[in-house]
Amino acid sequence: MTTHKNLLGGPDPTYLPENEEAYRLLGEESRPPVEVAAKHPTFSLAWAMLADDAFESGRVVESYAYARTGYHRGLDSLRRAGWKGHGPIPWEHRANRGFLRCLAALARAAGEIDEKDETERCWQFLKDSSAEAYTELKR
């Protein structure tokens, strides 16, 4: 992955490590996200998929819980990857997408349960982390 020097002096982008086994389980083996989350609880993409599934089925509180779990597991992973609480989390990096999707799912579900402050905070966090993810996920 190419890293560009930030001329404004902000933090470098954070790139989460890949979890090839989890991707293989979801892809090649077509395992359901609930199994992948149980086997790889730090893999935010599985939590994002569970959150999206629950939301689409009208289970908003369940979606919120899945999204919050994936979000917090993602924050832990980001910190282990050197993230200091701010800075870019590029959408184009596959391993970052699970966390970013959880963040969007949390914002969406929070909006549905009328948790306005959380909704606004999460959408702003997403926008600050990755304008591309914000554009892609805020619908």
Angle between helices 44-56 and 94-112 (to 10 degrees): 30
Question: Is 2's pLDDT higher than 70?
Answer: no
Contacts of 38 (CB under 8 A, 6+ apart): none
- Using pLDDT thresholds of 50, 70 and 90, give the confidence band for residue 62: very high
Domain boundaries, the chain: 37-137
Q: Which structure tokens are listed for 115?
A: 């948790």
- pLDDT by residue (tens digit) across 63-120? 999 999 999 999 999 999 999 999 999 999 999 999 999 999 999 999 999 999 999 9
Contacts of 92 (CB under 8 A, 6+ apart): 132
Mean pLDDT (the chain, rounded): 95
Q: Is 110 strand, coil or helix?
A: helix
Percentage of the chain beyond pLDDT 70 is 94
* The predicted structure's pLDDT at residue 7: 58
